[in-house]
Structure 1
Amino acid sequence: MTDFLSTPQGRRLAYHRTAGSGPGVVFLGGFKSDMTGSKAQFLQAWAEDQGRPFLRFDYSGHGQSDGDFLDGAIGDWFEDALSAIEALTEGRQVLVGSSMGGWIALLVARAIPERIAGLIGIAAAPDFTEDLMEPAFTGAERAAMAATGRIEQPSDYGDEPYVITRRLIEEGRNRLVLRSPLPLPFPVRLLQGSADVDVPPSVALKLFDHADSPDLRLTLVKGADHRFSEPENLALLAETLARLPV
């Protein structure tokens, strides 16, 4: 059964929460993804099997949550995640962020480090609007963005194109985490596929070099793609969670 949370910003978020004991696990999904994906479902099953608290939710404009995706930006989805964690969890949490969710997880960790027991990034994509999206725009796309405030790009993950708005790019510049010190005073694990063409391994290496953590490890998986959802990838995720010293 899906429950709903009203945030201080007036947004209504869909979520699923599982009870348990010990540090909780919070899944933070990717750009235009939702909480019904394979990694979210897998983590819920893992948490139930381990008796650990677990939370998955949809950002505003995603999945079953209210709002229009095209109205959203990184800051909005960070606020959603922070509101969900503060309202729906107790004690210290392990954040598991996939792709854009890795960026959101870093923003949450920077905001409430005392609540974070550990962080796992799966093809984490910090600063992707600035470092991956905007530099790849063609001249025609730049002209269209200037004229209309939006462009469309083909998607490898469905029939509908990605619509990228001017607000997504410009608001993202207020949320960058790789341009200033990034203290992460807890264990951090980064999982990255070598065959990821959406968020290349160079991003994981940049985050690995930049973050300041007492226990930071990067695992590069040969042949794994951006989805990181093959059975062996999910098994590695479970092993990483189980061994995280929290």
Structure 2
Amino acid sequence: MDTITRAGNDLAYHVTPGQGPGLVFLGGFKSDMEGTKALELERWAIKQGRAFLRLDYSGHGKSGGDFTDGCIGDWFEDAMAVIAAATTGPQVLIGSSMGGWIALLIARDHPDRVAGLVTIAAAPDFTEDGFWTDFTDDRRTEVMEQGQTAVPSDYGEPYVITRRLIEEGRDRLVLRAPLPLPFPVRMVQGTEDASVTTTTALRLLNHVACDDIRLTLVRGADHRFSEKDDLALIRRSVVEVLKRVKP
């Protein structure tokens, strides 16, 4: 494991050298680089001789910082700092859930560093269209006046949602303005995903400007998208993007 420091936090990452364009796995909200999808893709990339990078945002996994201090902009900047330090040239980004949003921010603000994109249950704008939209008036008041609220999670401890996460997220929304993606994009989404619905996937598909984009819906798959067949579909999607990357 390697580290770099950004904004006072040590950011942990693991890079495997190999053929380019390399693959970069961007994990989800409160997840880490030791998850099933990240490790399975890394093993596959090593067999293919393909460069691979996985990382932990600040407040996640082995990186420094407190989770509740972070926001989408922080984690986007964390990802860019690691990508800049550990890779050269355009990369194929693989964004899972919140990582899909971060990948879209990278594609919007640093398109020269993106060769292609694969999203797994991408969750763009979820702070606004998910948490804030679903909050009751009482919970909105709690966030604004007390600075945070705890919401139930299907993955263990409740999520602590902060006022900063909500307010800063509004400066990072990607579904409110044109979003050109001038490279191959493949999206995969489960129909039984309780965290990110097919409505979000279809909204993203219809919103972006991209000449080479496909969305694959998997009936019965949930948000983890980590079953054997799900992982195989992710690998096939990566292969398809790599085949269509412009030289």
Q: Which TM-score band (shorter chain)?
A: over 0.9
1:55 aligns with 53
1:153 aligns with 151
SS at match of 1:132: helix
Instruction: Tell me, yes or no, if structure 1 residue 105 matches structure 2 residue 113.
Output: no
Q: Which one-letter code corresponds to 1:100 in the other structure? A: M
* CA distance in 2: counterparts of 1:71 and 1:48, whole angstroms: 35
Corresponding residue to 1:243 among 229, 240, 244: 240
Corresponding residue to 1:77 among 67, 75, 78: 75
Instruction: Tell me, yes or no, if structure 1 residue 178 matches structure 2 residue 175.
Output: yes
Q: Which one-letter code corresponds to 1:37 in the other structure? A: G
Corresponding residue to 2:90 among 86, 89, 92: 92
* CA distance in 2: counterparts of 1:26 and 1:108, whole angstroms: 12
Q: How far apart are residue 141 of structure 1 and its match?
A: 1.2
* CA distance in 1: counterparts of 2:29 and 2:240, whole angstroms: 28
Structure 1 runs of 4+ with >3 Å offset: none
Q: Which one-letter code corresponds to 2:117 in the other structure? A: L
* CA distance in 2: counterparts of 1:83 and 1:153, whole angstroms: 30
* CA distance in 1: counterparts of 2:161 and 2:5, whole angstroms: 26
Q: Which one-letter code corresponds to 1:239 in the other structure? A: R
* CA distance in 1: counterparts of 2:228 and 2:196, whole angstroms: 20
Superposition TM-score, scaled by structure 1 size = 0.97
* CA distance in 1: counterparts of 2:112 and 2:137, whole angstroms: 45
1:26 aligns with 24
Q: How far apart are residue 22 of structure 1 and its match?
A: 2.0
* CA distance in 1: counterparts of 2:95 and 2:12, whole angstroms: 18
1:3 aligns with 2
* CA distance in 2: counterparts of 1:147 and 1:205, whole angstroms: 35
Q: How far apart are residue 154 of structure 1 and its match?
A: 1.2
Q: How far apart are residue 79 of structure 1 and its match?
A: 0.3
SS at match of 1:61: coil
2:12 aligns with 14
Structure 1 unpaired stretches of 5+: none
Q: How far apart are residue 214 of structure 1 and its match?
A: 1.6
Corresponding residue to 1:187 among 184, 187, 190: 184
SS at match of 1:85: helix
Instruction: Tell me, yes or no, if structure 1 residue 220 matches structure 2 residue 221.
Output: no
Cα-Cα RMSD: 0.9
Per-residue Cα deviation, 1:218-241 (whole angstroms, up to 9, x for no partner): 001100001100110000011111
SS at match of 2:167: helix
Identity %: 62
Per-residue Cα deviation, 1:6-33 (whole angstroms, up to 9, x for no partner): 23x3331001110101210000000000
* CA distance in 1: counterparts of 2:57 and 2:3, whole angstroms: 11
* CA distance in 2: counterparts of 1:179 and 1:135, whole angstroms: 15
Corresponding residue to 2:203 among 206, 210, 213: 206
Per-residue Cα deviation, 1:123-173 (whole angstroms, up to 9, x for no partner): 000000111110111233123223311101111011x11100000000000
Q: Which one-letter code corresponds to 2:67 in the other structure? A: F
Structure 2 unpaired stretches of 5+: none
Number of matched pairs: 243
* CA distance in 2: counterparts of 1:42 and 1:115, whole angstroms: 24
* CA distance in 2: counterparts of 1:25 and 1:146, whole angstroms: 39
Q: Which one-letter code corresponds to 1:235 in the other structure? A: A
* CA distance in 2: counterparts of 1:171 and 1:35, whole angstroms: 24
Q: How far apart are residue 242 of structure 1 and its match?
A: 1.3
Superposition TM-score, scaled by structure 2 size = 0.96
Q: Which one-letter code corresponds to 1:200 in the other structure? A: T
* CA distance in 2: counterparts of 1:173 and 1:144, whole angstroms: 18
